[in-house]
Each structure stands twice: as structure tokens, then as C-alpha cells.
Amino acid sequence: MSPAQVTFSKGNPADALLAVTGNVSITALRNGGATVNAANYSVAAGVLTISGQYLATLVNGVKTFTLIMSYGDNLTVTVTVDD
């Protein structure tokens, strides 16, 4: 996944866009141990989009997101949420 780290600013909110390489089949996205509601992210044409509206609701700090795959290794990305 590229980039492996993303910074999200609540002062300038935007969706987080991440390139997902390879033929992937994602079954879920987790923030830490919590499953993210599917309305808050999408995967299309090799791009994972995490909603800026969702990210703006998170407490500031480093969040580790894990893409749960139907096969193969799960992928992770860290998102730093700040003001």
C-alpha cells in the first residue's frame, strides 16, 4: 500500500487516498481493533479511500488501519490525525 503513512488535518479535511497494489479482495477495514463502517471507506480501481468526514471524528494521534483481506496478507497503514 502506498503511502504507508498519511497525515490528516482536521483544519483542512480531505479524504485519505491510498494506492493498493495487486489483485486484492478486501473484506473489512479496522481502526485498531474496531471494524470501520463500510460507509466510511471504499476501494475502487486500486485506490482505498478513507472518508475525511470519518477521520475528522477521530481523536488526534496515530491510528493504525488494517485492510482485512479475503486471502493473502492483511495490509496496514498509519494515519496521523491532527488539528
Structure confidence by residue, pLDDT tens digits, 26-71: 889 999 999 999 999 998 888 899 999 999 999 999 999 999 988 8
Return all residues near 59 (Cβ < 8 A) that are at least 6 apart: 81
Entry pTM: 0.90
- Give the CA-trace dihedral at 12, 17, 18, 23, to 10 degrees: 170
Q: Which domains does the chain have, with CATH numbers?
A: 5-82 (2.60.40.10)
C-alpha cell at 20: 493498493
Give pLDDT tens digits for 9-23: 999 999 999 988 766
Max Cα-Cα span within the chain: 37
Distance CA 4, CA 9 (A): 17
